[in-house]
Each structure stands twice: as structure tokens, then as C-alpha cells.
Amino acid sequence: MTHHSRLSKIVIDVPPADHDRELAFWSAAVGQPLTRFDTHPEYHGAALHGPELGLLIQRLDDGPGRIHLDIHTDDLAAEIARLEDLGAERVQQVHAWWILRDPAGMLFCVIPEPAGSLNDTNAQRWG
């Protein structure tokens, strides 16, 4: 079945002790405020200038700091299956999205988008 996906977010995962300093740094580095999400208060973010790319700062409960990518898709099952065929492995479902591990062991997320929000002008068509 045909579906769309795109690289949508760069997410900087930060331990609690470093969160405020990291948030201030990246807000200044990209030149815009990174605002707190009402629905998920562990995230601060903004759309960046350019082709629909965003930056998020995520406060971790535990674990080391790292960077991960978010892929958004209009068909979660089809995109996960496509990525698994390429060598990704499912790690954990969180809310409505999935955390996957790429062949090198790095984590990334696959996040559903509402039907009709992705198309040939803003995403890659698969299938």
C-alpha cells in the first residue's frame, strides 16, 4: 500500500541535571524560543527555518544524553514494516508512536501523522 513519510524532527535527549542549560543553549543556537508542549511537558520545541524540520529538547527520566531522529508517517504500520525490512528493530511503543533501533543500534522514533497531512510535496511516497 502507498504511504508517505519524512524526517521531521531532530530530538536532543537530555538528563534532568543538564536540561535547562541545554534548552537555553539550543534556543540561542537556532535563534528562536523552544516552547514547552502542553500534552508532553518533557518536550520543548520549535519548527526550524527550512523544509518543515523541527528541533525538540526532551528531558529524560534517566539515561545518557543523546540525539535521535523522528520520522513522521501517514501509515504507521506500513512505515514500520518498511524500516524493519531495511534492518530496524522495534524497541517499545510509547503513546501513539514507536521507538525503533537502526542496524547500528541507534534509537529513532516513528510517529503517526493525521491522514492527508503528508503528500508528494512534503514527504517521500513509498509503495
What is the predicted pLDDT for the residue at 53? 86
Contact present, 13 and 65 (Cβ < 8 Å): yes
Tens of pLDDT along 17-45? Answer: 999 999 999 999 888 999 999 999 999 99
Residue 48 and residue 54 in contact, taking contact as beta carbons nearer than 8 Å: yes
> How far are the Cα atoms of 3, 19, 114 from residue 27, in angstroms, in the given order?
33, 12, 28
Instruction: Tell which CATH classification among 3.40.50.300, 3.10.180.10, 3.30.420.40, 1.20.1730.10 matches the domain 3-126.
Output: 3.10.180.10
pLDDT at 52: 79
Per-residue pLDDT of the chain (127 residues; tens, 9 = 90+): 799 999 999 999 999 999 999 999 999 988 899 999 999 999 999 887 766 789 999 999 988 999 999 999 999 999 999 999 999 999 999 999 999 999 999 999 999 999 999 999 999 999 8
